[in-house]
Homo-oligomer: A and B are copies of this chain.
Amino acid sequence: MPLATLRGVCQVEFQNNVWTALLFLLALLLGGWRFAVFALIGALVTTVTAWVLGVARDRLTIGLEGFNGTLIGVAVALFFEMGWVALMLVIAASVLGAVVTAALTVLLAPYDVPALTAPFCVVTSLMMIGGPAFARIWDARLPPAPATAEPTAALSYTDVWQGLLNGIGQVFFQDKWYAGLVFLIGLLVASRVAAIAAVAGSAIGIVVAVILGAPATDIGAGLYGYNSVLTAIALAGVFVALTPYGVLYAVLGAVASVFVTAGVAALFRPVGGPALTWPFVLVTWTFLAAVPMFSKIRRPS
């Protein structure tokens, strides 16, 4: 169970390697102890819930039942102040996350499409959109981080290289470039292809956002990168075979993620929810569901 929980931390980026998990935890610690602790609580609660309800052992041991709990934990640590309410929230949300994981796994099985981080997105969106109805939850919210700079169209060199690493860190809501660097090293330990895909995905996010004229502060914070990072890793070798056409497909997916990031953010704005990794989920589901129509693209054998 402890190993399954730990593997749940690195399965967020489709890896199954204990060293990677430890490096990811170190990166979370750089952001603050609460991120690391809540990530472990979330992964533990979803894994235990799945175990109690009788999920097949092989899914549990490789961390497939834990990674949505990991992200739920990090999100609670980001949006709420540490205390009983946050602890109650992470437990309730992670239990629910385990059921949503099972439901999506069944619903998507006929198409051979995985649930990805959708259970995390469903539960966290619910928490942020429904939260204001409950005084005890909403009073425990942290004030949103103050904007560190005026929105500006002029992109500095610092925006670019920090944005490149922040795009990797933002997968776990981290906005410090050195945290992103540790995540990247963690990926590298598990898979060179995944590490290259992560950097390429983050770079694609920045380039497309610059061409389209997104605000420089958003680009520097990695907000247009993290969904492209996840889409690139998922489509480059993990769920699609690593052929020349497969790489082209992954690049298309990473580009599409930038557009979808803007669309999802605008959709959620009237109800006050963050975009989370919905763009990655929607783009990767679409690109994976489409595979059977494309003879040049195939699943890994």
Chain A positions near chain B (C-beta within 8 angstroms): 52-56, 92, 95-96, 99-100, 102-107, 110-111, 125-127, 129-137, 139, 153, 209, 211-215, 245, 249, 252, 255-256, 259-267, 269-272, 285-287, 289-297
Contacts and interface: CB of A to CB of B under 8 A. Distances in A.
B286 A126 contact: no
A95 B286 CA distance: 13
A290 B99 CA distance: 6
Contacts of A256: 96, 99
B293 A105 contact: yes
A290 B106 contact: yes
A136 B212 contact: yes
Contacts of A131: 262
Contacts of A104: 289
B132 A266 contact: yes
Given A52-B296, A53-B294, A96-B259, A212 B103 contact: no
Contacts of A126: 259-260, 263
Contacts of A103: 285-287, 289-290
Contacts of A54: 294-297
Contacts of A129: 263, 266-267
Nearest to A272: B266
A266 B133 contact: yes
Contacts of A271: 266-267, 269-270
A204 to B, nearest CB: 13
Q: Which of A125, A134, A215 has the most CB of B within 10 A?
A: A134
